[in-house]
Every structure is written in C-alpha cells, then in structure tokens.
Chain A
Amino acid sequence: MINFTEKQLERYSRHIILKDVGIEGQAKIMNGKVLIIGAGGLGSPAALYLAAAGVGTIGIVDSDTVELSNLQRQIIHFTKDLYTPKATSAAEKMAALNPEVTIKTYYTFVSADNIRGIIREYDFVIDGTDNFAAKFLINDACVMEGIPFSHGGILRFNGQTMTVLPEESACLRCVFEGPPPRNAVPTCAQAGVLGAIAGLLGTIQTSEALKFLTGAGTLLTDSMLFFDILTMEFIKHKLGKNRECGLCGEEPTIQELIDEQQPVCDLKTTN
C-alpha cells in the first residue's frame, strides 16, 4: 500500500510527522477521492488544499465562467482567467500546485439526473455551492448513495457547516425540512459577503475531508458549527438524527431526487 518516493516523503513530510496522520494517513490521502461541487468561494480553498495535500483524485464540478465579482473571494481564479470556465481555471492551478494528483473536471450543474452518477466515484463530497436547491440535492444524493459530505454556507460575516455520515449522523434534512421559501433569505448579491470567510469555511470543510480520509479526530457530525466573524464567536450546536426526517428518518417520504427551483445564492444564517 505504501510506496513513497523520496520526493513524496519530502513533499508530505509535515503530514507524515503528524502522529495522527503519519505514513498510513498520507497513504490514505493519496488513495482518497474527493469531489468539490462548486469552484467558487468555498471550492477555491478546498481545491487548493486538497491538491496540496496530495488527495489522489479530486473532482471539481462547475458550469460557470469566471466573473470579475468572483475574484474578491474565489482565490483559485486570477484576473487573467476572466471568462474561462471555473472548472478549467481551478484545474490549472491545482495541477500547477501538485502535478501528482489526478483532477477530473465536470462542466455542468449538478442535477437530479446526473448527480448520483458523479458522486458515486468519490469517497467524500464538499458542498461549495451557492444555492439551497443544490445543497439539498447534494444532501439527498449523498444520503441515498451513502457518501459522506461536508455541508457549508456563507453570508455576510457568517458561516455554517456540518459533516454528514449517511445513516450514521444527522443529515441536512434532519435539521431543515427543505429549502426556505423563495426570497425569504437574501442572496449574496443582495446581502454581500466578506471574502475571507469563504477561506475560513472552505478550509474547515477541507479539514473535514482530510480527517475523514485519514480517520484522524472526530468529525463535525451531529452538530452544526456557526460563526460570526464580527464578534468572533464560534458556536457548535449539538444536533441529532431526526426520526421524522423525510430523507433518513423512520418513515422516509423522499424516495427520489428532485430539482428544486431556486437558483439563488444563500441560506439561513441562524438556527
């Protein structure tokens, strides 16, 4: 299982010397497959750190092209990348950072039709999308396929994240029945977002992916982490599986995937 080259030993030395990662952990990372859905604010740091960590296969899904307003927080894209597909732009940077990782790009929206086929190939999924419809679609698909994922969202000065281990821990629908009503929550475009918190949350999600691959520590399951950067308060809310959850409860009502019609870019910021 372990066949490190001298260069790999050196490249990953700071991981390997960690007691909880070590040689075995790094080997697991290098055998790991992680999918990032959305090459935006959250996906940018996730893509860079996963590539840097040497995750064997990294998938990146995005159908958009780079816009000028993205560059305030989506740090994997540079000014020269304007109007190129985000997936391409991200893949270039990742390959430049670490030529050893395999990068798969998907120029598409995830939808009820394609998502299960895409995520099936991965060990872990990072949700870096900007709308509720996609977040619930990812949640439902991952639970159905039994693939662990990290949920995350940011708005203004706030962020929230939780990790879901299908069957074992609470899923997004255990907490929220479904997406909020249309326009009940302001969008990024309306409300704005501090660019740096994308980095803050994206790296937390990436840490969860790496913890999952290596088996180190305790995952952020059955709890939601909220933070408010203005007061610098981080709150971890204990949650539990909801027996009445329509997806993973005792009598599930959601049997198949649907595409919710809500192409907006935000989420609830409080519980």
Chain B
Amino acid sequence: MLKITENIISGIIDHAKKDSPIEACGYLAEKEGVIIHQYRMKNADASDIHFSLDPEEQFDAVRDIRAKGFKLAAAYHSHPTTPARPSKEDIRLAYDPDISYVIVSLSDGSETLKSFKIRNNYVEPEKIEIVQDQQEGFRNGLKQIAKSRSEDENHTDLKASISDRIRRSQKTESGLVRFYEIPPTFEAEIDELEAQIQRFNEGEIPARELKARRVPFGVYAQRTKGTYMVRVRVPGGCVTPFQLNTVAGLSDRYGNGSIHITTRQGLQIHDVVLKNIVEVIRQLNEVGLATRGGGGNTVRNITASWNAGISEDEVFDVTPYALSLTSRLIAEPDSWLVPRKYKISFANSADDNAGATFNDLGFIAHVKNGAKGFRVYVAGGMGLKPQVAHLLHDFIPADQTYMVAKAVKQLFSKYGNRRNKHTARLRFLRNKLGRDKFVELYHQELEELKKQPVEPFIVANMDNEPAPSIPIEPVEIRSPDFDLWKHRFVRKQRQPGLYSVLIPVLLGDLSSEYAIELADFLINFGENVLRCTTQQNLNIRNIPGDYLGNVYQVVVAISDMSTGPEFMANCIACTGANTCTLGICLSQGALQAIFRKLKKSDLNLDEISDLKLHISGCPDTCGLHSTADIGFHGKAARKNQIMYPAYNIVAGSVTKDGHSRLARKIDMISARDLPDFVAELLNHYLNKKDKYASFVHYIDDCGEADIRTICDKYRDIPNFDDDKKYYFDWGAKEVFSVVGMGIGECSAGLFDLINVDRDLIKKLREERKSFADSSKIDEALYKMTFSSSRMLLIARGIEAQSDREVFNTFDKHFIEAGLVDKRFKKLITVARNRDFEQLRNMEHQVHELTTAMEALYESMNDSLRFPSEKEKQIDESDMRDRTAGNDQEVFRDYRGVACPMNFVKVKLDLAMMTTGQTLKVLLDDGEPIENVPRSVADEGHEIVEQKKTDDYWAVLIRKG
C-alpha cells in the first residue's frame, strides 16, 4: 500500500507534463508511512524511452532524506506515451525490493498513476491510498486520473447500472476465481496486437496481415464491414458468475448487447468495432479469460462433459483435466502455430456426451485396476469431410494426459499439411500416412517426450458442493408449471441434496441484460455453479433443493424456452447465411420455423427430450448435423434452372465409446417443406417409439424408409411462378441466391503472411523501374531485402519483432542453415546497418535475393519444409529440435541444486536455446529464487514469470 498526499501526486504529474516528451524521474520520501516529499531530478539520459537519475541530484536527495529524518519510499518516473506499466528495462533496473516504483502515464491524453513493488523481477501492483486533509476531494481527483478509457461518455444509465453491478460482484471474492491460467506472455501479445491494429489504421499493413494476427486471437471479421466477433476461451464450459457478468457487460458496452454460446462451450461477443477489440481482450484477460486460440490454426477451446463432476453415471470428473491441459497448452508458443486447428475433448463416461470420439483428440474417462485414466481417440473431426476418431490408446493413466496431447501436437506440427487448409486437419494426416505409420510416428514423439524432463501434470480438485452460506432466503413455489419445469430441466446431482438446472438458450444467444441478471443471482451460490454446454445452453449446478424456487423465478424470466419441452433446448442451428460467408441456407430461420410448427402440433415432445436435431446452413458441419439423431445441411437445389433452398437429410449418428458413427445421408427436402417433414417424421417415431431402444434403432430399422416415404410426398415442388414461397429461404426478404458467398475467415494462415511479403516484393520490383529519386530507390531496395528476409521466417515459426531481428534470424536460419547462398551474407549485413549507399551498389544482389527466395518458396513442400531437409526431419532425433532452432519450451527441474550451480545450469540451457525460446525452471525457495532470476535478467534474458508452488518456484525465462 502506497500512502501518498494529493500534493505529491499533483507534483509528479506536473513534473511528468513539464518534462514531456522526455521521461521525468525522481524520488519520493516518506515520514510515518506517508509520502510527503518529492525530489524532482534530471533525466540524465534525456530520453523519451528510458531514464537515469542524475547521480549528483540523487546523492543530494539521499543526504537530504537522511538529514530530515525521512525515508526513501519510492522512485517515480513518467511514461509520456506508453501505459503505466513497468517496462522490461524498468523491471531489470529495479534493484531495491523495498521501495515502490511509481509510474505516471500521459498516454491517451489522460494521466494514470500506478505504483508497483518489483522483487526478483516480479512485478506486483500496489494499491495507492490518498491521505491527509483533502482526502475526499482527492479521491475524486484520482478517479479522474485513473479514468477508464471509456470512449462513449454518452452511454449512461443502463451502462452505469451494469458497471455498478460488475463492481458489486467484484467486491465479493468471486472476482478472483479463474478456472485456467493465462500465460504471462499474453499481455505482451495483446500489446503487439494493439500495435498491429494501429499500424493497420495508419495504412502501414494490409488487412490481410492484420487478419493473420487477429484470427489466432479469436477475433473474426463479420459480414458487416468493420465489425468483429471476439471468441472467448471457456474450457469445459466453466465460467464463474463474475466472468459471465464481465463478458455480458463487455458485449453491452462494446458489442451487440448479447452473448453467444458456441457448440464448443465457448462464449462470443459480436459486433465489436476494431478500435475496441484490444480493450475487450484486455478486460477479459483481467478476469481470467483468454481469447488467444479462439480461431486460426491453434489449440482451440478444450471441451468437457457438461455434467462432469455431478453425474451419477460418470467414471470420474474430467473437468479438472480439461482445465489443467488448457493452462499447459496455451502457455506453449507452438500451440499457436499448428498446421490447422487442434480440438480436444474430455468425456466423463462411455456415453461420450462431449463428443470425444469426434475430436482431433478425445479422452474418455476410464478406470483400470482402480487407477484413473482415459481411453484415447485421435483424428476425428467435423468440417466438410467429417470423420469418427480412431482409438489410439486403450488406456493411459490420467497423469499422462498432457504427454499424449503434446505428442499429438508435435506429430501434427511436424508432419501436418500446412499448405492446403482443406486437407490440413489431423485426420487428413492420418489418412495420408495410414494407420500404422501415423501410430508409429506418434509413438516416436511420445517416447522422445518421455525422455525429457517434464513438469508434472497437476490437476486441481474441483469441489461440487453447496456454497457455505447463501445470503438469500429460499422461495417456495407450489404449482404444476414449477413441477413440470423441474421434471424437464432439473436433475439430481450425485451430491445429495444438490441439483443441476438446464437453462435453454435459443440458438445460443442470451442478452447481456439477462446474462447479468443470471450472474448476479448465481453469485449467491458460489463460483463453481455454471457451465456452457455443447448444445449451446447454460447449465447451473450445485443448487440446494430449497432454492429451486428461486432458480425457477430467475430462469423463466430470462429463458422463454424454459416453459417448453427440453427437446427444443437440444436443437442446434449454425449461424447460417445470416452472418457466415460460407452459408447457403438460413439455418436459424429454418429451426425457428420448425419450432413454430412443432408448437402448433400436438406431438408430445417430452417423450423425445434427448433427441438431437441439428441443422447446418451448408455441408460444413458447424451445425453438427453429422452427429445428430436427425440432421440437415443446406444446399442449393434447382427447379427449371431456378435455384431454391433445400436440405439434405442425414440420420442415424451414434456417439458412444467404441460405437460412434456419423449420420448418413438419406434424402433431401426443400427448406419450405422442412418443418412439415420434421413434424411428420417425429409423429412416425412417437408412434413406434416403444418398439425401439433409441432413435438410431428406429432409423436403422424402419426410420430410413419412413423418411423416404415422407420425402416422396414433398418431392415435387411448385414452379417459381406458381408458388414463390419455395424460392425464398426462411426469414429471407429476397429470392434465394448463393451470390455473396466468400472464403472462410478461418483460413488466415501462414501463407497469407508469406504472401504479404511476396506481393510487396513483386510490387517493388515493378516500381523500381520507374524510380529515379535516390531516396525512393534506397527505400525500395531496403524493403525488398527486408521482405525477402522476412517472407519465409514464419515457415520456421519465427515471428521477428524488429527489422534487426528479421535480418539476424534470416541470417541464422536461412543463410547459416545453408538454405540460402552464403554470398548474401554481406547484403544482409549492409541492409541491417541501413547502409543505403552500399545497398545501391549491391542492387543486382537484392534482385538475386528476391529471385532466390521466390525459388525457395516454390520448392517448399506442404509441411513448409525445403527439399534439402525433407528426409532429415523424419530421421533426426527430436533432441536437436528441442534444444535448438525451434520455439519449444524447455523444462528443467533444478530443485535441490544449490547456488550457483543452478544458475550455471540455467546458463547452459540458455546457451543451447535460440533467442525467443522459453525455458521453465523449478527452483528452490530462498537463495536460489533470490539470485537466479536476477542474474539471468542481468544477462539480457527476460523473466516472464515466476510463481510459487508449495515450497518451490517455477520461473519462466525467455532467452534474450
């Protein structure tokens, strides 16, 4: 806690402003715990990015402090254009763990003052308390100083009440609970994204380059230009009430005012404009929610059975495994550079209600000889060519979960097809290699991993229990509606006296207002009370029976569907042509038309609560039609050369350990007749239901024939002139058309980035011919050399942060590695030194280099490997990869190693790594943690994070 007077704060801000744009700096002295004196000093560096205290003034200050009986309490400095956060240099140079480091930022036109303690390179924000006479008045002043970057001052009443509520819930302990760990590097990555957006706004980079950056951040462009969707990582669908509140509040403030629940248990905020993206991501990060990996070729949200931990039939609770695996994988840089998305799922029993048998990697809980573990499936997936996953391990002990996931990731990274995104998913790799080769290579990876020291895979316990005290009174309700609702949506948990409640959310969309209302209510029941489900609903848990009345009141107010049958809740429709550029049909409109039809019918839908009806707007399986009991996917059909919207009908999918299969195509139906078709089919089924154990049995027996019979009735559709309704899709105002379909956003990949440079080089080569002005020529030659150096770095997984780094890494990974002729070494040096005169003399070499790089690009294979190294990759031991030349995180356990040997070993490890690679070491408490990180930082490496676990520390170091 930094206690400080108003005058001093004004003084610091005044100093910062007067010295701006140079960083202002000085000391603050305290008496009786309160800062009462400011020593302004000269910045001996006179720089806008760093400072050193003038030594003479520093000595004078120290003398004065002693003479007056004060105590040195803090060093302050200003950041004229950057946020009030300690820079790497600030952290490195902070030598006194006892004093506070106060930073005042003038960026964004407002003044923000923050205080930090910096110990062993570890930054801890410190609270600031204003003291003395004008305390109250000053609080207001500080509020202004720390004013939020709110851009929409005119958002008033509702916003105020929402943020009040957010604040209210923040006050409870709830704000601190987070289900997974976000790597400390995430903040820097957000800064980087912010810089990219700025560069894009200033016209420095094309939209395509920005896309390649933002998509892996879970930021997708929407059909309406300039608006974006932000996808939030919610592993296992676990979200605290406070987090839900935050997501909803952010959508209210920056988005479309509602939250969207995805079929992978994630959350999305829609309609965010570009300038607010970073703010949204930062605020999510503050409450423990990451967006990284929301899209692109990354480790995606890890799903888990919605009823894990509470189901009476489960083998064990798999949620903690999904959460821990998330924390581990998202901390690894190569999780953002897999060839295509990598989806993982955990099911708590053989019933596989998480779809583990349809993921890239699926874990199904299993107990063998009393030990917890998993049956493991691999290479399944949805998409255009869906596939059931194959059994990879009959059983692995639970503590091997991480190893298996990592081995598969490495296998995928090494051999996956990066060039063609349509055949890039893991299942295509398995199909290409064949089962035996795939499994063999997988075991190679696994064995290599087992040889390495690996941080133990620790899984935290998740308690499902009632909140210790519930601050609200139970409401008792007696009514048939309440009983019906209980019958439909309330389930007994395996914990006696506790219940879970399904909240159906139509199409996964819940308004922010309702979400916040729900969150506010749920806070009464603890933290572990909420799940997003793969059916795009919410499920609340750990509710004591006495409180079901309270839940009922809240739920029926926010969910219309809670008064209907459960069947509706289990229907899924993808977004369809509404917003998806790939969409053909308006799948959501179709589902709503089906609902309308069913509501008017007298079918007893409560008999088919478990039936899964899924609709996709196109053959892509975003609407999960392939895993439905009865599924539909949109297509364009023709009658007399005029197109009309229609659906293929698929049915008979099974999702169960060892028995999973995809739905098979049976027939087709026009969009117009779809609702009637569904009603008739359900009617057939309900009449025969008693004879069959499940819908699948019905389909396999006579359902398929029933479907064809119904379709025959609707086979003939009227001509356009006779009944135009058939030619309009559900909810469409215009005649059906497929014009406007585009290329999927998901494809933003490495090739987009490479093409940015290739295109630029081509353009410059062309323009160069007409340049006469020498400065223009210089710039063109420099940029050509730069882009040539940069274009294929990404193929090596290198994302250079500066021009210098581009040239250095190019030299190392391409010239030194023998991929590019050594004669270009001099050119690279010349360009790196920005020696334009010399560069002009070497112009022919610049052109030769561009040609050489284009040739190298052409020779690259699907896995981004070059001919000269194709075979090597398979034969060579993985050891080399791990220790040099890639960005794998290295892990070492130096517990029990005394000083300075621990530091010596760390240096050895770092010496064998490449710049930017990270090393995680475990160190003992005491002398080791006090010394090693500081020494490592002194040598120019970055201490990314250090945190204590039990009696030891885990320190994450990035090689400098």
Contacts and interface: CB of A to CB of B under 8 A. Distances in A.
Interface of A: 2, 4, 9-10, 13-14, 16-17, 19, 22-24
Given A17-B900, A23-B911, A9 B939 contact: no
Contacts of B907: 16-17, 22-23
A17 B903 contact: yes
Contacts of A23: 907-908, 910-911
A17 B931 CA distance: 12
B502 to A, nearest CB: 59
B904 A2 contact: no
A5 to B, nearest CB: 11
Ordered nearest first, which 4 A-B pairs have the shortest CB separation? A23-B911, A13-B904, A16-B904, A23-B908
B289 to A, nearest CB: 40
Nearest to A24: B911
A17 B932 CA distance: 10
Given A2-B908, A9-B901, A17-B904, 14 more contacts: A2-B911, A9-B904, A9-B905, A10-B901, A13-B904, A16-B904, A16-B908, A17-B900, A17-B935, A19-B939, A22-B907, A23-B910, A23-B911, A24-B911
9 contacts: A2-B912, A9-B908, A10-B901, A13-B900, A17-B900, A17-B935, A19-B938, A23-B907, A23-B908
Contacts of A14: 900
Contact of B911 (A10, A17, A19, A22): A22
Interface in B865-916: 900-901, 903-905, 907-908, 910-912
A13 B935 CA distance: 14
Contacts, number: 32
A9 B905 CA distance: 7
A24 B909 CA distance: 11
B890 to A, nearest CB: 14
A22 B938 CA distance: 12
Interface of B: 900-901, 903-905, 907-908, 910-912, 935, 938-939
A24 B907 CA distance: 9
Contacts of B935: 17
A10 B897 CA distance: 11
A10 B903 CA distance: 11
Nearest to B905: A9
Nearest to A21: B907
A24 B908 CA distance: 8
Nearest to A27: B911
A240 B200 CA distance: 54
Contacts of B912: 2
A22 B939 contact: yes
Contacts of B900: 13-14, 17
A155 B849 CA distance: 61
A16 B910 CA distance: 12
A17 B938 CA distance: 11
A22 B960 CA distance: 14
Contacts of A17: 900, 903-904, 907, 935
B938 A4 contact: no
Contacts of A24: 911
A45 B939 CA distance: 31
Among B900, B908, B939, chain A packs the most CB atoms within 10 A around the CB of B908
Among B904, B905, B908, B911, chain A packs the most CB atoms within 10 A around the CB of B904
Nearest to A9: B904
B943 to A, nearest CB: 16
A63 B881 CA distance: 52
B901 A13 contact: yes
B92 to A, nearest CB: 13
Nearest to A23: B911
A19 B905 CA distance: 14
A17 B904 CA distance: 6
A10 B908 CA distance: 12
A73 B780 CA distance: 67
Contacts of B939: 19, 22
A253 to B, nearest CB: 37
A36 to B, nearest CB: 28
A9 B939 CA distance: 18
B901 A4 contact: no
Among B903, B911, B935, chain A packs the most CB atoms within 10 A around the CB of B911
A13 B908 CA distance: 10
Contacts of A22: 907, 911, 939
B546 to A, nearest CB: 64
B859 to A, nearest CB: 30
A194 to B, nearest CB: 36
A19 B907 CA distance: 10
A17 B939 CA distance: 10
B939 to A, nearest CB: 5
A16 B902 CA distance: 11
A4 B908 contact: yes
Among A2, A4, A16, A19, chain B packs the most CB atoms within 10 A around the CB of A16
A62 B461 CA distance: 73
Contacts of B904: 9-10, 13, 16-17
B762 to A, nearest CB: 41
A19 B938 CA distance: 8
A13 B904 CA distance: 6
B197 to A, nearest CB: 38
A16 B907 CA distance: 8
Contacts of B903: 17
A145 B939 CA distance: 36
B381 to A, nearest CB: 43
Contacts of B910: 23
A201 to B, nearest CB: 30
A2 B904 CA distance: 13
A76 to B, nearest CB: 29
A9 B938 CA distance: 20
A31 to B, nearest CB: 14
A194 B908 CA distance: 42
A4 B908 CA distance: 8
Nearest to B938: A19
A204 to B, nearest CB: 26
Contacts of B901: 9-10, 13
A12 B719 CA distance: 90
Nearest to B931: A17
B480 to A, nearest CB: 77
A17 B910 CA distance: 12
A13 B905 CA distance: 9
A13 B897 CA distance: 13
Nearest to B939: A19
Contacts of A19: 938-939
A133 B910 CA distance: 48
B354 to A, nearest CB: 46
B905 to A, nearest CB: 6
B453 to A, nearest CB: 15
A19 B904 CA distance: 11
Contacts of A10: 901, 904
B937 to A, nearest CB: 11
Nearest to B911: A23
A23 B907 CA distance: 6
Nearest to A20: B939
Among A4, A9, A13, A17, chain B packs the most CB atoms within 10 A around the CB of A17
A4 B938 CA distance: 23
A79 B464 CA distance: 81
Nearest to A14: B900
A120 B805 CA distance: 39
Nearest to B932: A17
B52 to A, nearest CB: 20
B942 to A, nearest CB: 15
A250 to B, nearest CB: 28
Contacts of A13: 900-901, 904
B510 to A, nearest CB: 56
B959 to A, nearest CB: 12
Among B907, B910, B912, B935, chain A packs the most CB atoms within 10 A around the CB of B907
Contacts of A4: 908
